[in-house]
Chains A and B, each alone.
Chain A
Amino acid sequence: EPEVTQTPSHQVTQMGQEVILRCVPISNHLYFYWYRQILGQKVEFLVSFYNNEISEKSEIFDDQFSVERPDGSNFTLKIRSTKLEDSAMYFCASSTDTYEQYFGPGTRLTVT
């Protein structure tokens, strides 16, 4: 069964460093998403991406964040200058339409 994959599973970085989280969505999906879950809190929407552009973003997704689909298979989330409060589990998701979203296993980002 096709699945969304994410790398790395765990990333530790120092405050102020740039990180790139990588995702490979399901191959025939057209919509891509990033969510995050701070420990003990709800899963929160960050951004959605369709047709090579951002279709929606939340207030969390400020200028420090960017997304890219550099080739036909990868979907990345970049945080330019990480802060302590960026520590969270980041989930990538993809869908063929806008609602039935399939999630990856997540990347746990720890900012020290």
Chain B
Amino acid sequence: AQSVTQPDIHITVSEGASLELRCNYSYGATPYLFWYVQSPGQGLQLLLKYFSGDTLVQGIKGFEAEFKRSQSSFNLRKPSVHWSDAAEYFCAVGAQEYGNKLVFGAGTILRVKS
């Protein structure tokens, strides 16, 4: 069965520090990969996506993610975190072979210390 794992439930970083949020997936197919962010009371905002091509993708708000097929990973990174980045981050995966639904990870809550 398809699954997405975000091993870190909570992460706390200092403002200005770098950030990496981990995502691993288990799929029997070529996946499409996404990161979404959810601020309190808000919907899920698409940060970035990977379909094919360059394995390092750039997104909004200064985020990037790298697809590593050998590790079945799609980790989200940001070189310098801002206090406004505090939110919950979700990794999601889709695959044509499994229809058009997205499978989500459990989410990682990011706290930013000033």
Residues of A within 8 A of B (CB): 4, 6, 31, 33, 35, 41-45, 48, 55-56, 58, 91, 93, 98-106
Contacts of B94 in A (CB 8 A): 98-99
Contacts of B11 in A (CB 8 A): none
CA distance A42 to B49 in the complex (A): 19
A-B contact pairs, 21 of them (CB 8 A): A35-B102, A42-B105, A42-B106, A43-B92, A43-B102, A43-B107, A45-B101, A48-B100, A55-B99, A56-B101, A58-B101, A91-B43, A91-B44, A99-B32, A100-B34, A101-B102, A102-B46, A103-B45, A105-B41, A105-B43, A106-B43
Residues of B within 8 A of A (CB): 32, 34, 36, 41-46, 49, 51, 90, 92, 94, 96, 99-107
CA distance A93 to B32 in the complex (A): 17
Of all chain A residues, the one with the shortest Cβ separation from B90 is A43
* A103 shortest CB reach to chain B, Å: 4
* A109 shortest CB reach to chain B, Å: 15
Of all chain B residues, the one with the shortest Cβ separation from A40 is B106
Contact A103–B101 (Cβ < 8 Å):
no
Contacts of B36 in A (CB 8 A): 103
CA distance A102 to B102 in the complex (A): 12
CA distance A93 to B105 in the complex (A): 17
Contact B42–A99 (Cβ < 8 Å):
no
Contact B100–A31 (Cβ < 8 Å):
yes
Interface centre among A6, A33, A55, A98 (most CB of B within 10 A): A98
Contacts of B103 in A (CB 8 A): 45
CA distance A48 to B96 in the complex (A): 14
CA distance A41 to B104 in the complex (A): 10
* A61 shortest CB reach to chain B, Å: 11
The 4 closest A-B pairs by CB, nearest first: A98-B100, A45-B101, A103-B44, A105-B43
Of all chain A residues, the one with the shortest Cβ separation from B100 is A98
Contacts of A6 in B (CB 8 A): 43
